[in-house]
Structure 1
Amino acid sequence: MADAGDIVQTGRNEYSLGNAADARSVLSNADGSYAEHSDFFHTRYGYFEPRSAQLKMRREARGLLKEFLQARGPDALRDFVRGQLGATSQWPDAGNWLSYRYLLPALLASDRPPSLRRLLDQIVQRSVLANARARQPRWRRMWLQFNTTLRLSNAIGACQRHPRVSPLDILDIVAHSDGPERRQDELVEVFLSFLFAISGSVGFVLAWSLYLWGTHPRRDTPVEWIVQEALRLWPVAWQLGRRPAQAHELSGVKLDVADEVVVCPYMVQRNAAYWTEPAEFRPERWADPEAWRNPAFIPFGHGAHRCVAADLATQLVGDMLRSVLELGDVEVIAHGDRPVVASAMAPPPFTLTIRPSR
């Protein structure tokens, strides 16, 4: 592969981009060179519109999550982590379950039918965990998809028929994003984006942070630095595809509407033009309070579709990591050194052991 600063042809009509300035330009799409696209608000019907519905949903979801996290506080989180993790646990699955179960009340309020929570459990088990889909036969994946669409569509319909004064969970927010005329199966996919972000993205970032902490010499650094460095080295959302809307040139390459440009945060964030020892785990680089402004740091995307809850997710992962490390003498036993690569990039499997501090 060419240097991370280049645009690299990775398929017949596919180009992966590692140049920070061009990556930001593609994602911001200020000149309309690319078809409008959101990795979060993308459904089987294409781009979820109107934009006003996205903005309303983003604003309300962020407000609900922020209120939820503030109401629980650090003591509740420490107690929760202590209750979830035993003397040994298997990761990265444990990280997915930890983030999912902690944030489940924000996804589904306590008055929702228990059968809906069991459905979400099945989705996490069969669609979110690393290699989960590969372990499922095709007929079972199809049945889960059908069952999920049917039951969540019914739940969204019930929300629309009986609106609350103010939303109590993400399901409420999605159901009332754009009025009852919106296709319910499309709203189901948007709700699932929230589920995948909470259980998948947050869980994998936590697992990467713990894996890197445990497989490198100990550093007396704040957990926040470890999380930031994990996001830099191993961005969970490691490729963001965009389709040109018109012919144009990018990084010296002529592109047409038949091509696909993949902004690759993995390449961008290892670009030696922007980072010292870019392939090395160096959490101390985040001692500089301006480090997060590095233009080659885009783990949550860039532009209008950047993750609206990026700061909340980063803080939560840091708090969770701190809670885990405070449980006792913690050891990471790695079972490999290769990431599990799919739509999300998960860390190699590892066992976490916890012994009470002496």
Structure 2
Amino acid sequence: MDELETLDDLRARHGPIFRRGPGVLYVGEPAEAKAVLADTGSRYREHSDFFQTGKGLFGPRSAQQEVGRAARNLLRDHWTARSDRLAAIVAREIGPDSRWPDAGNLLLYTCFRDVLVPEGELRRLVDQVVRHAVLAGARERRPVLLRAALRYRVRRALVAELSRRRTRDVRAPADLLDVLAAAAPDDSSRTALVRLAEVFLSFLFAVVGSTGFLLGWSVYLRATAPGAGGDLAGVVREALRLRPVAWNFGRFPAEPHRLAGTEVTTSDEVVVCSYLVHRDSRFWPDADEFRPQRWSAGMPPGGAEAYIPFGWGTHTCVAAGFAVQVVEDVLGLLPPAGQWRVEARRHRPHVAAALAPPTFTLRTNGARTGEGGEHGQDHPRRTGGAQHPQE
């Protein structure tokens, strides 16, 4: 059995909350999962799934929120301003025989690269990070020492660039590094700069990796279930339900307590598993089936009780809406789904920190839809209320 099958089996045998090895408690019961993520009762240590670094937590929370909003707005404005070029970029980057999920990741990197990092040596290093650390399975294909050396080089270059930008008076950020250089201005220590460098890498993974994987899942699931129906919004939301990219959220108790009758100690890790939460049949009929049409009237009845693809509580991903918008926009510029054919040696997902689609080739026929949307009509661009996948 693979990792996900193992979790399904453990839930079937032990219920939605179960121990998996010493000191690890999995939570797949929706109400308890939300309580843990919202930290009801302040029972867990302060934690961020995005701003946690090797040098500690970047914070305080107010600074996290400020950085998240500024970055989201920057990326959203960049996306909107280039909407007229998107069809040409998709047509150029996604050919009739494209290899996924890498194709989706690299497409988004092409779209956002100018607003992530400037041209020059630093960009060349970030290019390597994308190829050797962000793409699905990339880390397994590159020796540990080479990965460590690349991380050291890019972190050093990021610290130097952030330090240089701290001295600039920037009225409006031109790229993500400007946003980060303006964060926590009262602390210019090397430790603070290292934290910001690691936050940059978290952004890179969110923009290129996580959002790219969501795009890949949307393509894969729609292509392998051609009769599933539903519109683009339903496809993306159902992909998030069935195959949540952020599928585990780890929390560490600050005090001993009971969780649904289970004793939890401060040496435990409590893992909220959105993969299990999203398969609760009380809230999701035919929970293991890809059914985009269930979203035809918005959130399905009862679905809000068991839907946490971007977390829950104060650390909910502040840019979730923008991620969904980006994926919908790209899907609308691909050839009609009736012309898709998936070829894969195996259909098991890549299971790591993020849940990525299996490696597959998407073969398409007919004219591209950059000139007329998925169904031969203009694909509308939305420009308001968007967010990006980042806390």
TM-score by length of 1: 0.94
Q: In the alignment, which of 186, 203, 220 is matched to residue 212 of structure 2? A: 203
342-351 or 289-298, which deviates more: 289-298
Letter in 2 for 1:140: L
From 41, 50, 54, give the equivalent of 1:40.
Answer: 50
C-alpha distance in structure 2 between counterparts of 1:314 and 1:132, whole Å: 24
Please list the CA deviations of residues 62-99 of structure 1 after superposition, one character each: whole Å capped at 9, or x if unmatched.
211221222122x4221110011222111111111111
Equivalents in 2 of 1:211, 1:314: separation in Å?
A: 16
Q: Which residue in the other structure is 2:129 paired with? A: 123
For residues 88-128 of structure 1, give each alpha carbon's deviation from its aligned partner in whole angstroms, at most 9, with x where no partner exists. 111111111111211112212xxx34222211110011101
- Aligned mates of 1:5, 1:20 — CA distance in 2: 12
Which of 181, 200, 204 is 2:188 aligned to?
181
Helix, strand or coil: the match of 1:167? Answer: coil
1:27 corresponds to which of 7, 19, 37:
37
SS in 1 for 2:305: coil
| Separation (CA, whole Å) in 2 of partners of 1:6 and 1:193 | 30
**Residue of structure 1 in register with 2:348 after alignment:** 338
Within a 5 Å distance, the mapping from 1:211-290 to structure 2 comes to 211-290=220-299
Structure 2: how far apart are the matches of 1:154 and 1:125?
23
Give the CA deviation at 1:268: 0.3
SS at match of 2:298: coil
Contact 2:229 2:292 in 1 (8 A): no
User: C-alpha separation between the residues in 2 aligned to 1:337 and 1:20?
Assistant: 28
Instruction: Name the structure 2 match of 1:133.
Output: 139
SS, match of residue 351 in structure 1: strand
Q: 5 Å matches for 1:72-221?
A: 72-73=82-83, 75-108=84-117, 112-179=118-185, 180-182=187-189, 183-221=192-230
The 3 A distance-change label for structure 1 pair 276 and 5 is farther
Shift of 1:328: 9.0
* Structure 2 portions without partners, runs of 5+: 1-9, 369-391
Per-residue CA shift, 1:164-219, capped at 9, x if unaligned? Answer: 22111111111111015252111100011100001110000000010001111334
1:10-21 to 2 correspondence within 5 Å? 10-21=20-31
Distance (whole Å) between structure 2 residues aligned to residue 61 and residue 138 of structure 1: 31
Paired with 1:331 and 1:263, the residues of 2 have a C-alpha distance of 35
The one-letter amino acid paired with 1:178 is A
Q: What is the alpha-carbon distance in structure 1 between the residues aligned to residue 82 and residue 279 of structure 2?
A: 36
Match of 1:55 in 2: 65
Q: What is the CA–CA distance in structure 2 between the aligned matches of 1:327 and 1:273, rounded to whole Å? A: 31
Tell me the distance in 1 between the aligned counterparts of 2:234 and 2:299: 12
Indicate conservation of the 8 Å contact 1:335/1:348, yes or no.
no
Q: What is the deviation of 1:286?
A: 0.6
More off after superposition, 347-356 vs 264-273: 347-356
Q: Is the 8 A contact 1:57 1:174 kept in 2?
A: yes
Preserved contact between residue 328 and residue 356 of structure 1 (Cα < 8 Å): no
Matched-pair contact (CA < 8 Å) for 2:253–2:264: yes
1:286-315 Cα offsets, whole Å, 9 max, x none, are: 112133961211010011111111000001
CA RMSD of aligned residues (A): 1.8
User: Which 10-residue stretch deviates more, 145-154 or 322-331?
Assistant: 322-331
CA contact (8 A) 1:239 1:264 kept: yes
Does the 8 Å contact 1:327/1:356 carry over to 2? no
Per the alignment, in what secondary structure is the counterpart of residue 271 of structure 1?
coil
TM-aligned CA deviation for residue 235 of structure 1: 0.6
Residues 357 and 220 from structure 1, CA distance in 2 versus in 1: closer, same or farther, beyond 3 angstroms?
A: farther
Which residue identity does 1:284 align to in structure 2? Q
- Contact 2:253–2:266 (8 Å) recurs in 1: yes
Show the counterpart of 2:374.
none
Rounded Cα–Cα distance in structure 2 between residues aligned with 1:81 and 1:328: 18
Residue 2 of structure 1 aligns to a residue whose secondary structure is helix
Cα distance in 1 for residues equivalent to 2:180 and 2:292: 37
Q: Distance in 1 between matches of 2:66 and 2:146?
A: 35
Q: Distance in 2 between matches of 1:275 and 1:327?
A: 25
CA displacement, residues 103-158 of structure 1 (integer Å, 9 cap, x when unaligned): 112212xxx34222211110011101111111111220111011011111111111
1:325 Cα deviation after fit? 2.9
1: distance between equivalents of 2:154 and 2:169? 22
